Chains A and B, each alone.
Chain A
Amino acid sequence: MTDLDVARPPRATAGNDAGAPTKAKPTRRSLFTRLRRDYPVLLLAIPGLLIILAFQYYPLLGNVIAFQDYQPYLGIDQSLWVGIENFRVLFDGDPEFLNAVKNTLILTAIQTIIVFPAPIVVAIVLHSLLSNRLRQFVQSVIYLPHFMSWVIVVAVFQQVLGGTGMINNWLRTHGYDPINVIGNVEAFRALLTAQVLWKDTGWATILFLAVLSQIDRALYEASAVDGATRWRQTWHVTLPGLRPIIILLLILKLGDSLTVGFEQIILQQQAVGADVSEVLDTYVYNNGIIGGNWGVAAAVGLAKSAVALALVLAANKVAHRFGEEGVYRG
């Protein structure tokens, strides 16, 4: 602790006395004195810490029901222990579970390929605008959907794309056949992707714009002197400037790769059925809280969290190997 200088007594200068080195005196005050000094600060911290302990750390213990035949009326104390029985669903390849894994991975892949690059493109265009006012106006508009709940987003999409919605009304009055998007199994993934794009593309530009504004102007000037066109400048100056943040966000995304659109899907699952819409999170919800298979649901949830944590740690290692800073050092 280097910040303790206030509390630290002057260090005894060693070597003045010939022979025996001075015994290192404890340089800190006792815990008790420090507690007495700092208790007002700690009092301020306690309520917030308690919430984090109660709702972030304490639930971790609840994961033991992954190894139980948990019965709500018996509670954790009295439910039977069944070892890894609940994890059978993972190993035996239960078709519903495999389906959920498949859908999750497909959606993650789509989002990485389509949703992830979208804000980068938008940010580069916005950054290249000469008018600050125009840029700020566009930003204010495209940030907005981020603050709408999934219920609102889904409702708005239904109104626009639904049977009596904006687009179908237009098609009908102009003599075309209406298109069924809502509740259409084949269009479901496209629909989810469109909703994510609509809701969060604008918001995601905020980080990229911040990084872009920090790119050294001299780089652009130097490349201009070398005769680089605007396109070449984007390729050789702008994109490399974004590289660290892109890698950072990809790592974070990897940690979330087993988490896709929970609320969004729960809201629309009824309309299309589980075949295309069941993902791991909805599997846990439908099996555990709706279906009462608490143990199995907890086992899937636990495995999912473990894999996610492992992915983040591994990705961070890889990033270090490539000389990037990653999420954290060490």
Chain B
Amino acid sequence: MTHTKVAPGKRPPAALAGGMPMPGWPERIGKAVFLTIICAFVVVPFIGVISTSLATPEEVTRAGGFVMLPTHGIDLGAYKSIFAGGTVTQALLVSCFITGVGTLLALLLTCTLGWALSRRGTVGNRKLLLLVLISLLFNPGLIPSYLVVQQFGLLDSLWAVIVPVCVSAFNVIVVRAYFVGLPDEIIDSARIDGASEWKLFWYIGLPLAKAVVAVIGLFYGVGYWNSFFNAMLYLNDSSQWPLQLVLRTYVVNGVEIGGQDLGVGSEALPPQTSIQMAILMISIVPILAVYPFIQRHFAKGVLTGAVKG
């Protein structure tokens, strides 16, 4: 194999990506700059948000709002005041409830349905699969969806945010594709040992699908944690608001958050920007916390669905 562009003895051709010739210096520098810029675009705003939430009140006031790097030490006042009780704590609890209960319910229903659809040869299997697939092609529309939630009496209930989105047809297809790929021998031998369908699913199928379940769980979890529009649509009582709605009101719309909302005396209040950034941070942190554990499974989870489904 002669690589015309490779200087002899520089690097064995086997190490080259996809048999491409060795890139020249201009290209490598260009790529380094390009990648640094796109990474900086992602990272820099987050650093700014963290910094502003942690900077001392004096520094925030002096900077006129946004602090890029706190040079005068760190102050946790903003976090103390948002956790002192009141609006933000309440919203945090609501968000945790929606996310926790929603994700568990969603995973259970999605995996059971995916498992059932993976058992080929059972009554109506193909028709049911078609039913799920067709639902991917259309969208029921905002107004009819609203009317259905209303009709089921779910308005102003957290279940309105949880239940309508707890089975995503796409995720069902992803899980099903994975279950279909499991070797029949395992399932058959377990059945010979007398395992019921539920036991097959719970002790054989689910543990083997751990990676896929983790990724789908992340998708559902993030979806619930981020639920904003459905909450806005279905929850009128502000005491039921999840974090995202609080974030919209006090950060995006810039409504002043006062001592009363936070449950603290208003004299001791840190600057608005610090409080806003602290609220923003607590809505970002849970995602950052689970992200490293699950992101290595992304490609696998996404691609099972995209390629086979």
Is the A/B pair a real complex?
yes
Task: Point out residues on A near B: beta carbons under 8 Å.
Answer: 1, 3-7, 31, 34-35, 37-38, 40-45, 47-49, 51-52, 54-63, 65, 72, 76, 122, 125-130, 134, 138, 140-145, 147-152, 154-160, 164-166, 169, 172, 198, 201-202, 206-207, 209-210, 212, 215, 217-221, 224-225, 227, 229-230, 233, 262-263, 266-268, 270, 281, 284-285, 288-289, 294, 297-298, 301-302, 304-305, 308-309, 312
Report chain B residues within 8 Å CB of A229: 5, 21
Task: Check if B121 sits within 8 Å of A128, measured CB to CB.
Answer: no
Contacts A220-B18, A285-B142; is A125 near B122 (CB within 8 Å)?
A: no
Chain A positions within 8 Å of B116 at CB level = 41-42, 44-45, 48
Question: B298–A130 contact, CB under 8 A?
Answer: no
Known contacts being A198-B42, A202-B42, A262-B229, is A62 close to B19, with CB within 8 Å?
no
* Given A41-B116, A298-B141, A309-B138: 7 more A-B contacts, CB < 8 Å: A3-B120, A52-B169, A62-B143, A129-B31, A142-B38, A159-B280, A301-B141
Q: Hey, which chain A residues are within 8 Å of B66, CB to CB?
A: 159-160, 164-166, 169
Contact of A159 among B18, B21, B52, B229 (CB under 8 A): B52
Q: Could you tell me if B248 and A65 are in contact, using CB atoms closer than 8 angstroms?
A: no
A263 touches B228 (CB 8 A): yes
Chain A nearest CB, measured from B292 CB (Å): 8
In the complex, whether B295 has a CB less than 8 A from a CB of chain A is yes
What are the interface flags for B52-75 relative to A under an 8 Å C-beta threshold, 1 for contact and 0 otherwise? 100000000001111010000000
Q: B76 at interface (Cβ–Cβ under 8 A)? A: no
For the complex formed, measure the closest distance between the CB of A120 and the CB atoms of chain B, giving whole angstroms.
Answer: 14
- A47, B109: Cβ atoms under 8 Å? yes
Question: Within 8 Å of chain A (Cβ to Cβ): is B97?
Answer: no
CB pair B48–A166 under 8 Å, yes or no, is yes
Q: How far is the CA of A302 from the CA of B20 in the complex (A)?
A: 50
Q: Contact between B138 and A305 (Cβ–Cβ < 8 Å)?
A: yes
Query: Which A residues are in CB contact (< 8 Å) with B222?
Result: 147
Most A CB atoms within 10 A — which of B49, B167, B172?
Answer: B167
Q: Are A156 and B298 in contact (CB under 8 A)?
A: no
The stretch among B78-86, B127-135, B259-267 that forms the contact with chain A is B127-135
Smallest Cβ-Cβ distance to A7: which chain B residue: B121
A-B contact number at CB 8 A: 301
Q: Determine whether the beta carbon of A1 is less than 8 Å from that of B280.
A: no
Least CB separation from A40: chain B residue: B197
Query: Given known contacts A44-B197, A164-B65, is B18 in contact with A298 (CB within 8 Å)?
Result: no
Which residue of B23, B64, B277 has the most chain A CB atoms within 10 A of its CB atom?
B64
B87 within 8 A of A: no
Chain B residues 16 to 52 lying within 8 A of chain A, measured CB to CB, are 16-21, 23, 27, 31, 34-35, 38-39, 41-46, 48-49, 52
Contact for B167 among A48, A128, A169, CB less than 8 A: A48
| Residue B90 is within 8 A (CB to CB) of chain A in the complex | no
Q: Is B88 an interface residue (CB 8 A)?
A: no
Q: Is the CB of B142 within 8 A of A41?
A: no
Residues of B within 8 A of A134 (CB): 35
Contact partners of B123 in chain A: CB under 8 A: 31, 34-35, 38, 42
Q: Are B3 and A59 in contact (CB under 8 A)?
A: no
- Please give me the 3 A-B residue pairs with the lowest Cβ-Cβ distance, nearest first: A48-B113, A164-B65, A62-B144
Q: Which residues of chain A come closer than 8 Å to B167, judged between CB atoms?
A: 48, 51-52
Residues of A within 8 A of B208 (CB): none
B161-180 with Cβ < 8 A to chain A: 163-167, 169, 172
- Determine chain A's interface SS by DSSP, over half rule: helix
State whether A45 and B112 are in contact (beta carbons under 8 Å apart), knowing that A40-B196, A59-B140 are contacts in the complex.
yes
Taking A47-B113, A143-B298 as contacts, is the C-beta distance between A210 and B303 under 8 angstroms? yes
Known contacts A60-B144, A143-B295; is A164 also within 8 Å of B19 by CB?
no
In this complex, the member of B68, B108, B139 whose beta carbon has the largest number of chain A beta carbons within 10 angstroms is: B139
**Inter-chain contact B41/A198, CB cutoff 8 Å:** yes
Residue of B nearest to A219 (CB): B19
In the bound complex, residues from chain B placing their C-beta under 8 Å from that of A56 are 135, 140, 169
Question: Could you list 16 A-B pairs, sorted by A, with CB under 8 Å?
Answer: A47-B109, A47-B112, A48-B109, A55-B140, A61-B144, A148-B287, A149-B283, A152-B226, A206-B303, A207-B302, A207-B303, A218-B19, A221-B19, A225-B1, A297-B142, A304-B141
* B7 interfacial contact with A, CB 8 Å: no
Shortest beta-carbon distance from A16 to chain B in Å = 29
Smallest CB–CB gap between B147 and chain A, Å?
5
Known: A45-B113, A125-B34. A224 touches B252 (CB 8 A): no
Q: Taking A148-B287, A233-B20 as contacts, is the C-beta distance between A155 and B147 under 8 angstroms? A: no
Q: How far is the CB of A152 from chain B (nearest CB, A)?
A: 6
Roughly how many angstroms separate A312 CA and B44 CA in the complex, as a whole number?
Answer: 39
Which residue of chain B has the shortest Cβ distance to A327 in the bound complex? B137
Nearest B residue to A238 via CB reads: B18
Instruction: Decide: A48 and B172 in contact? CB cutoff 8 A.
Output: yes
Q: How far is the CA of A227 from the CA of B21 in the complex (A)?
A: 10
- Name the residue in B35, B169, B273, B292 with the highest tally of chain A Cβ atoms < 10 Å from its Cβ: B35
Residues in A neighbouring B122, C-beta threshold 8 A: 34, 37-38, 41-42
A107 to B19, alpha carbons, bound, how many Å?
40
